[in-house]
Each structure stands twice: as structure tokens, then as C-alpha cells.
Amino acid sequence: MDSVLRSFYRASGWNEDNSYENIVATSEALIDFPIQTDFKLNVASKSSDYTATQLTLNNTATINGSVAYLYTSAPLKDVLGTKELSLQDAIAGKPLNITLAANPLLGHISSTYSVKTSINTTFSSRYDFNIYSYDSNLSFGCELWRSNGPPKGIIKRIDPSLAPHAKHGTDDQTVIEAFESLVRDTGYTSVIKLSTSLNDQQVKLMWEGKFKEFLVSAGAELQLKSPTPEVKRCGIQLQYSS
């Protein structure tokens, strides 16, 4: 349903940056990505330009399931199934993202810095601090993408000495626009995500890729507080949409 929601945003002209959760989406995708605790299967279908359905099955202790039905007032013209969907559609955020959030009522301050250092790597850090309790935490996350390289004819050389908003080449693009274009045109096949938190003393690892017409996610979370690392949770998820 995520692709349906993004399609609705585009059809209705909604700016996703208007929502707080999207402002910090880059760091959350790199640091707070969820780990399944079981086997989960999602099957979704767009039955018309205005409706979509989804069936979810999982085996947490017992087999559970749910059915979701969606209706939208704006036509959804560009929703892709998992067969046509490229992994780069799931790439988090922009090449450079810096945020600072504060909650005066609870005394919580959070700052993040995320940067895409190449077309295949993204790194993020987050520092949380509470001015009342003085509790703090430092978290790190990264994505390592595997790709077949950009399609022939679009290999671009970006001069690292240029400023981010300087014009690049003769196509009237800035350096950031040229980099984003290069990322969009790159054929990604899989990604490995890794995150850790100093205060929580845990490590999360996840692999995402495509198998046949399915999107596959498999991951595990390790707890490092004991002398011997302990697997806190692990799971796998299959997604199919048409």
C-alpha cells in the first residue's frame, strides 16, 4: 500500500515534506527500520484507478490475517506492481538531509545527519538528548546497495569540487540534481541495512531484494548487553502486488 499512498500524494499534489514523519524519514529508514519477528506475506492489487486491496498473513505463534480495502478520490495512474517496481523506488530520502527537532514539553532534542556518499552507500547518524534527565543516545545506520551500474549512455562524472547547487555540465542541472538523476537511473538489485545504538547496545541487520516477482526482506536484531550476543528477533517478509 505504500506505493499506492505515494501515487495518491502525486495525484493530489500533496508535498510529502509537509508531514513531520517524512522530514525525518531518511534517518528513520536508515536507523529505525523494522525487523520482522515472524514470517509475513503481503499480497496487494489495484483493482481500479480508485480502489486497491491488500491481504496480509503472518505466523506470530498462530496464523493471523487481515484484509485492507482502499478507496481514493484521485485516480492512481502510476502504481507499479512488484514485477515492474524497481528497488530504487524504495531508496530513502535525499542525497543530503539534516534535521533538528525539539519537544520543549518533554525536554527532548534530536538531531540527525544523513548523507548519500555514493550511488551505492548512504550513512546516517542521530543524537538524542533530554534536558531534564540528561539521558542521551547516539545511533548510526547505513545502507549498502548492490547494482548493475547505470544503463548504457547515462554514465555521468560529477566534479566533487563543485558546490551542491552549482551547475553541472551542459544540461543545466545542479550537482545535486545530476546526482539524484544518476541514482534514479541506476539498476539496483539488493540492499543491506545495518544500524546500531550505543545506549541500547543492539545491532540490526536486514537484506532486501527481489526474487522472481516478489520483494523479499529478511533481518535480525542482536542484543549485545550480555557477554554472548543474543538474537532478539528475526524474520522474513514477502510482498507481491499487481
Query: What string of DSSP letters covers 154-216?
Result: ------TTS-TTSEETTTTEEHHHHHHHHHHHS-EEEEEEEEEETTTTEEEEEEEEEETTEEE
Instruction: Flag whether pLDDT at 177 surpasses 80.
Output: no
> What pLDDT is recorded for position 46?
82
Residue 113: exposure state from Cβ atoms within 10 A (0-12, 13-18, ≥19): middle
Residue predicted with more confidence, 96 or 220? 220
Please state which of the ranges 3-12, 152-161, 170-179, 196-205 shows the lowest mean pLDDT.
152-161
Please state which of the ranges 21-35, 175-189, 204-218 shows the lowest mean pLDDT.
175-189
Answer whether residue 165 is part of any domain. Answer: no
Answer whether residue 159 is part of any domain. Answer: no
> What pLDDT is recorded for position 169?
62
> What pLDDT is recorded for position 100?
92
> What pLDDT is recorded for position 204?
95
> What pLDDT is recorded for position 220?
93
Answer whether residue 170 is part of any domain. Answer: no
Answer whether residue 124 is part of any domain. Answer: yes
Q: Which helix (DSSP H) or strand (DSSP E) does residue 11 occupy?
A: helix 2-12
Which pairing describes strands 230-241 and 39-45: parallel, antiparallel, or unpaired? parallel
Structural domain of 43: 1-12+21-151+186-241
> What pLDDT is recorded for position 80?
73
> What pLDDT is recorded for position 238?
87
Answer whether residue 219 is part of any domain. Answer: yes
Which pairing describes strands 51-58 and 39-45: parallel, antiparallel, or unpaired? antiparallel
Q: What is the C-alpha to C-alpha distance for residues 52 and 2, in angstroms, rounded to an integer? A: 11
- 54 is written with which cell numbers? 491488500
Q: Considering the chain, what is the average pLDDT of its residues?
A: 82
- Under DSSP, the state recorded for 88 is G
Q: Domain tally for the chain?
A: 1
Answer whether residue 91 is part of any domain. Answer: yes
Q: Taking the CA atoms of the chain, what radius of gyration do you get in angstroms?
A: 20
Q: What is the C-alpha to C-alpha distance for residues 235 and 205, in angstroms, rounded to an integer? A: 11
> How many residues are present in the chain?
242
Q: What is the pLDDT of residues 51-100, one digit of tens each?
A: 888 888 888 777 888 888 888 888 887 777 777 777 766 555 567 889 99
Answer whether residue 118 is part of any domain. Answer: yes
Answer whether residue 30 is part of any domain. Answer: yes
Mean pLDDT: which of 12-26, 126-140, 153-167, 173-187 is highest?
126-140
DSSP-based three-state secondary structure for 37: coil
